[in-house]
Structure 1
């Protein structure tokens, strides 16, 4: 062991110890003092004390160099040693972690979805989004880099991202209203200076991270796939030869071409024999109509030959002989709602035309209760493809053809509209929809809800729609609004939508301005309390009225509406009306729109002409007399009588494109519903007898066709 002591203005102590144990210690009591020592062996300790402004002790033990502040614990000394480069060289540390600031533009990244139609008010479905993306629209993740306060830069940025918007006459931004599960879109108000990124980031717009929808302002966008000049679509696949015509088409187009080519080839083969038998002139062929019976019916057709193409076209009352294949997504881009509905139903039925028939049998020998239960049983079946070809049969009646289908679907919709008779003892019908005309709402019966009756209602509505049948008329606009994704708060509710008379009385009380008595307040409380609403005060009077009305109409029918939606989804029509809100009035028309007037029927009738009359069978005077009786019957009939006449004439109360009349030798008027032909007797001498006979025939329509 060695000890050293140094004193003075400057002092240095050093020592060396060798052996199994080595200790070096030193003391410096000067302004600057340094103590160093070295110990070699199994154990080495270096210690030192400096009572000066600066003191450093260093040492090496067992071959390991250690350095630390004087008087520190060995662990602290080791930590100091490890971080010495950062402590002793602070300039280097700051330089190493100095942040680099660059002068760049701020970036705004967000998801935008460009819509194609200017009337769109709901979030597009998955199929619609895929179609929009194929034509350069749809969802895109965009990054804006520029002046966030400039509306011109933002507009140009949107036009560059979606070039088709330049022809739309402007655009407006939309966001989802309400919860994230909502499909209803509302317009984001446009400030005076126009849309800017800074405005979109403002919390008052309530956009946050939600998708921003861009809707054309004045003109619908073209939804056709367009390629720029010189651009080649590189996703068409290799060329494939057509097995029918031998021509080559891209892989992405060969499937559709094969369908079109097969249909055209089949149509040409079927028309080839007809063209050979046709003369150069345009003939008019009137074939005799047959009643709906077991014999093969013959339809009244007017055949015209197109001399330019040599093809034969058939013009018939509501019968289309076109074999052209409809594109599955053509309804998306069709601007006319009625035409879009027609394209949708045609494409849906075309896709399932080769599948198994959907057989529906009603027995005319059963009672009315048993028939109604058979209808419910048929539409309650799970996992049914409702777009398959419908084949209806009436047990106990030999009638066949489309007329039977129309009769059955008309019966089904009539029961849905006016109620099902399920108990013969009481004779009371079970109503699924209650209320005033044009304000019908689903029944709040728990039994109907738990029995999935409203799923049945949705399937009936969708199935009859696919088969061009009658519609459910008069449904409340508020129910329709919520059914296709609208929010409760934005639904067009009126007092007429409320079925409960007690609730109506309370709403009328709250609408007034006079102070309510204690009895009136108790009356309000008896309605509001079970629905977890407070009593009425002078401050919450109007608010309470709105809440009571909202719950009475929509709150109590939420589950029923969900079941109807399920039924529509099962039939495959929900996609159409969710994507095209402008087609909803076609599915749920107003009751006034379904009323039948005499002029509507007269405009559809194709009256027999004088040159078509065989004088040996019917004189011209008899023809004019009988047709005059029919015209008078139609002109003087009420709306209900005309609906019954139309149902007897065609099978349901839906107006077809045309109606035919035939004068025959019979006792009572007859009809051929398959071919939309009314047959009246030539033997009627006066209007009273004609009216009596026709009403007798109409009143028997509910029992079938009478073909025993």
Structure 2
């Protein structure tokens, strides 16, 4: 005869509060009636439940009595690390000497402190992450969203942003031409490392050591900023002769994978530079990898069109290229591919997964290793108020190809060695006086800045 089992219903009440999982201090009332033992190292009494963990760290703790409370505060000290951290290094931004164990942390924040109000005239942000908030968007003229010409749409967007921030305190950009190139670059990095800056406010540029004034000075600043971004800084950041934030050949540029540059937030600085230059009519950054631009503007990695030239590491590129053909791999080639696959947690090569593996390796080499750089650049673009435009108008050429980029007067002027009246090799019996030479030089500068057509597509 079959037995009938009675069923029961179990009700579980949901948790309505978060449980506190923090370890209890030794003086907690919960340990009052539990057995205790004295630690032979510090001579303190501890409950048996936590004595084991205490013994492991007892030699490395300093016990400090709090005068206002009965509980004991514990501070961990690693003695050995102090002995090994006597080596010092020099911060590449401020040139201050400090222990190596804190150098990277310091470098990530160096220059971010706001300058004196009389110097930078910065204002605190009125919205989270410096993005255009809902209130501000409601006052914007949205003609830029529907204008058929992308260039005109970008100009309309700039005008709207400037209109909303025209009453803000202007930002003052200074560069001392009497100092060396490294010092000038350090001034630029420190300016863009500042926190809580409203980048859409009016900007004033000054060249110390030069009497030049006007829009030409502003163009010189932003041309210098974009040139340093594209071709590298002379500052010795990360033990390199020239610090390049972007690497490889034109139209395939991608951010450097240097951990030092990432930890120093220099790609956040790069994003601010790109957005700030765009807002104030400066040059754009040309030559970035199309696949990188696609993902940067929130496109999917799966739909990015990757090219082998996008991989900046030559050795990795050659290894990945072994999978592009159809001929069987020899033992040495198979070993190289397998070693790379294992280092990136991918399966080894087979005849069936060869094409798939090629695409996965290339995607990781170009995009997977640059996730943090993408986030930092994107954050910098948001802080400079250009992200809204890039989201709404995908047709705006914010990152043009190298062939689409037009040469600017500032780019040419910065590569010309101009005559100086105090040159030692001047001939006393020269046909032209210094005043005439200076006047001719001025005419040439004016001609380059105002009369030459710089649109490469119409030349």
Counterparts of 1:192-591 in structure 2, within 5 Å, are 328-423=141-236, 428-583=241-396, 585=397, 587-591=398-402
- Cα 1:334–1:369, aligned 2, differ >3 Å: closer, same or farther? same
* Rg comparison, structure with higher value: 1
1:546 and 1:425 map into 2 onto residues whose CA distance is 31
| SS state at 2:172 partner | strand
| SS state at 1:392 partner | strand
- Cα 1:504–1:426, aligned 2, differ >3 Å: closer, same or farther? closer
| SS state at 2:351 partner | coil
Shift of 1:426: 8.1
Question: What does residue 412 of structure 2 align with?
Answer: 644
Contact 2:238 2:261 in 1 (8 A): no
Query: Paired residue for 1:667, among 421, 437, 442?
Result: 437
Shift of 1:672: 7.8
Q: TM-score, normalised by structure 2?
A: 0.61
1:497 and 1:345 map into 2 onto residues whose CA distance is 32
Shift of 1:645: 4.5
| SS state at 1:361 partner | strand
2:371 and 2:437 map into 1 onto residues whose CA distance is 54
Measured against aligned partners, the alpha-carbon deviations of 1:21-44 in whole angstroms (never above 9, x if no partner) come to xxxxxxxxxxxxxxxxxxxxxxxx
Shift of 1:328: 2.7
Measured against aligned partners, the alpha-carbon deviations of 1:639-697 in whole angstroms (never above 9, x if no partner) come to xxx9514987xxxxxxxxxxxxxxxx821433489xx83399xxxxxxxxxxxxxxxxx
Question: What does residue 35 of structure 1 align with?
Answer: none
Contact 1:670 1:678 in 2 (8 A): no
Measured against aligned partners, the alpha-carbon deviations of 1:293-312 in whole angstroms (never above 9, x if no partner) come to xxxxxxxxxxxxxxxxxxxx
| SS state at 1:359 partner | strand
| SS state at 2:322 partner | helix
2:411 and 2:206 map into 1 onto residues whose CA distance is 23
- Cα 1:647–1:471, aligned 2, differ >3 Å: closer, same or farther? farther
Query: Per chain length, whose mean CA-contact separation is higher, i.e. which structure has more relative contact order (CA < 8 Å, sep 6+)?
Result: 2
1:592 equivalent to 2:403? Answer yes
Contact 2:342 2:348 in 1 (8 A): yes
Counterparts of 1:596-675 in structure 2, within 5 Å, are 596=407, 643-645=411-413, 666-668=436-438, 669-671=440-442
2:414 and 2:149 map into 1 onto residues whose CA distance is 28
Contact 1:459 1:567 in 2 (8 A): yes
Question: What does residue 253 of structure 1 align with?
Answer: none
Contact 2:226 2:273 in 1 (8 A): yes
| SS state at 1:412 partner | helix
Structure whose residues are more often helix by fraction: 2
1:644 and 1:389 map into 2 onto residues whose CA distance is 26
1:425 and 1:534 map into 2 onto residues whose CA distance is 33
Question: What does residue 688 of structure 1 align with?
Answer: none
- Cα 1:470–1:452, aligned 2, differ >3 Å: closer, same or farther? same
2:324 and 2:369 map into 1 onto residues whose CA distance is 22
Contact 1:495 1:504 in 2 (8 A): yes
Counterparts of 1:50-129 in structure 2, within 5 Å, are none
Shift of 1:424: 10
2:236 and 2:326 map into 1 onto residues whose CA distance is 47
| SS state at 1:458 partner | helix
- Stretches of 4+ aligned residues off by more than 4 angstroms: 424-427, 645-648
Contact 2:238 2:260 in 1 (8 A): no
Q: TM-score, normalised by structure 1?
A: 0.40
| SS state at 1:416 partner | helix
The alignment's C-alpha RMSD in Å is 3.1
Shift of 1:471: 1.1
Counting matched residue pairs gives 300
Question: What does residue 78 of structure 2 align with?
Answer: none
Shift of 1:561: 0.7
329-338 vs 468-477, which deviates more?
329-338
Measured against aligned partners, the alpha-carbon deviations of 1:533-556 in whole angstroms (never above 9, x if no partner) come to 111111111111110001000000
Shift of 1:521: 1.0
| SS state at 1:506 partner | helix
- Cα 1:511–1:419, aligned 2, differ >3 Å: closer, same or farther? same
1:396 and 1:490 map into 2 onto residues whose CA distance is 51
- Cα 1:515–1:436, aligned 2, differ >3 Å: closer, same or farther? same
| SS state at 2:447 partner | strand
- Cα 1:126–1:678, aligned 2, differ >3 Å: closer, same or farther? closer
Question: What does residue 447 of structure 2 align with?
Answer: 678
- Cα 1:381–1:645, aligned 2, differ >3 Å: closer, same or farther? closer
Shift of 1:509: 1.1
- Cα 1:436–1:444, aligned 2, differ >3 Å: closer, same or farther? same
Measured against aligned partners, the alpha-carbon deviations of 1:364-405 in whole angstroms (never above 9, x if no partner) come to 121111111111110010110111111011122222222111
Shift of 1:363: 1.0
2:179 and 2:343 map into 1 onto residues whose CA distance is 45
